[in-house]
Amino acid sequence: MSRMILSMQCPYCQTQLTESSVECSHCSLSIKSANALLGPVPQLSTGINDFLALLDKKAKKKLNKSLIKLGERFPQVRMHVIINEFDPKYSVATHLFWLFNQDSLSTSDQKGGKNHSILLGLDTSQSLCSIIVGYGLEPFLARKALDDVLDTAQASLSAGCYSDAILTIIDNLSHLMQETCQQLTEVLNLSEAETSQPIEY
């Protein structure tokens, strides 16, 4: 059975997609074609994936603590990070799409609109970063807003300060999600009592 693409926009050609899309209608990108292009899938774990061993023990501990705090603030959200040198023939976004749609980062009950995962990728060879969010978050987190979050870390990334870059992105992403929750509260005209608990996506 073909698996659906967990993205509302094709990471390769930017064509709009739907939750039921199994491939891009414009460039035909799919999980199957991405596997054929990009080769064996690396072994991914939840949280930090430092394939280049650039982070020391202290930095990893600090990053994991930051990810835990993000998860506590937004219980449905699980954020993962990949640090690697990606094949420059394809955009970092395409690599993340490929990795995000593998089974290791989400369970079978976290598909489609129930997917609230976030995957951040840092390409050290090009000093680039990209981020992809699950279909359940995409209606709330605009691409432009996510790009603005990434821009805040570009100086640290260019300087090779990868831990600082990731921490900056996590912090600004948390602020973005908090602002989104507040905007939803205003749009839905919820009372203070109704919003005393964190808003769940």
- pLDDT tens-digit map of 134-146: 888 988 898 899 9
Residues 6+ apart with CB under 8 A from 189: none
- Domain layout of the chain by residue ranges: 43-195
Name the more confident of 163 and 185: 163
CATH number of 43-195: 3.10.310.50
Q: Name the burial class of residue 37, with classes exposed (0-12), middle (13-18) and buried (19+) by CB atoms within 10 angstroms of its CB.
A: middle
pLDDT at residue 155, rounded to an integer: 96
Q: Alpha-carbon distance 109 to 91, whole Å?
A: 29
Mean pLDDT of 185-192: 63
- pLDDT grade for 40, boundaries at 50, 70 and 90: confident
Of 158, 101, 154, 114, the closest CA to residue 130 belongs to 154
CB 127 within 8 A of CB 156: no
Q: Is the pLDDT of residue 93 over 80?
A: yes
Residues 6+ apart with CB under 8 A from 79: 67, 70, 71, 117, 118, 119, 120, 170, 173
